[in-house]
Amino acid sequence: KAAFEGRLTQEWREEHKGEIEPADKLLERIINQQKNQKKKNLEKKPTDYTHQQLPDKWIWCSSNDFFEFVTSGSRWWAKYYSDEGALFIRIGNLTRDSISLILDNVQKVTPQDVAEMKRTRVLENDILVSITADLGSIGLIPQGVGEAYINQHIALCRPVKLMNPKFIAWYFRSESGGNKQLMSFQRGATKKGLGLDDIKSVNMPLCSLKEQDLIVSEIERHFSQIDHLENTITTSLRQAESLRQSILTRAFDGKLVPQDPNDEPASILLERIKAEKARH
C-alpha cells in the first residue's frame, strides 16, 4: 500500500525534483510504441480511483495501457501430460503470498498443436493471474524458466517493454490495489470467475520507469526483512515446542524437581489408591 501511494519513494522524489519523467509522458511513449508495433490502439479508460491523491507527476491509468496482449490457456492439455517435456503451469503453481511461482510440484507436457503452443507459451516477465477457483493469485515468470505453458484457469499478461513487470505484478498482488479490484470484478453465482477484459480494466497508478525500479527494490528489501523475521519466529516456535516436550520428559523422568527423602514412596500411594477404589 505504501509503495503504490508513493510513500516508499517520497524522499527520493524530493531529492530528484526536476529529474523525474512525468508519468503522462511515459504513458505517451508506451502508447506510441504500441502503435508503432501495429498493436491495437489503446484507449485510456476513465478511472474509479481518482479520489485517491497521487504524488506529483504520477497519474492513474488502465492496466490495458501496459499489456501487449492478455490471453488464457486451453482446455485440451490433459492429453499431452507426460513425465518429461515442457513445464505446465497450473493454479497450484501460483500463490497469494508473493509474485514468485511455486515450482516444487510441477506437471510436464509434450504439446503438438503449434498454434496453441505459440499462443499460450509464457516468456520471461509475463504476469499470470488465476481467473477461476482461487481468484487473483499472481505469478511472474522468472528468468531461465525454459519452455512453459498455462492451463485454462490462468490468464497470461505480457507487459510492454517500457514498464517494470514486477511493478505491475506487485500492484496486482496488493490487497488494497489491483487485487481488490480483481475481486470486485468476479462474476457468477455458483462458479466465480474473471474475464480477460476484467484484467485489462484494473486502474493502476503510473510513475516514471526509474521510480518503478526503485519501488520494486524497496518492496523486495522490506519483504526480505519480513521473511527473515518470519523465519526467526518459526525457528523460535519450533524451539519453544521442543522445550515444552523436554520439560514434560524431565517431569515424568523425575528430573524436574528435587527428590524429598521424607516424601511418601509411590508404592504406598498406589496401595492407598487401590484401597480407596475398593471401598467404592
Share of the chain above pLDDT 90, in %: 59
**DSSP code, position 159:** E
Strand ranges in the chain using DSSP code E only, listed in sequence order: 59-62, 67-72, 81-82, 86-89, 107-109, 127-130, 138-140, 148-150, 154-159, 203-206
Please count the other Cβ atoms lying within 10 Å of the Cβ belonging to residue 30.
Answer: 21
Are 273 and 264 a contacting pair, CB within 8 Å? no
pLDDT tens string 72-95: 988 878 888 888 999 999 999 998
Kindly state the average pLDDT of the residues 217-225: 93
pLDDT at residue number 34: 80
Kindly indicate the confidence band of residue 48, based on its pLDDT and cuts at 50, 70 and 90. low
User: Any bridge partners for residue 87, and if so which?
Assistant: 108, 148
pLDDT tens string 30-45: 988 887 665 554 444 4
* φ and ψ of 273, to 5 deg: -65, -45
pLDDT at residue number 42: 45
Q: Is the pTM of this model over 0.75?
A: yes
Question: How many whole angstroms separate alpha carbon 198 and alpha carbon 182?
Answer: 7
Please count the other Cβ atoms lying within 10 Å of the Cβ belonging to residue 190.
Answer: 4
pLDDT tens string 141-198: 999 989 999 989 999 999 999 999 999 999 999 998 999 999 988 876 656 789 999 9
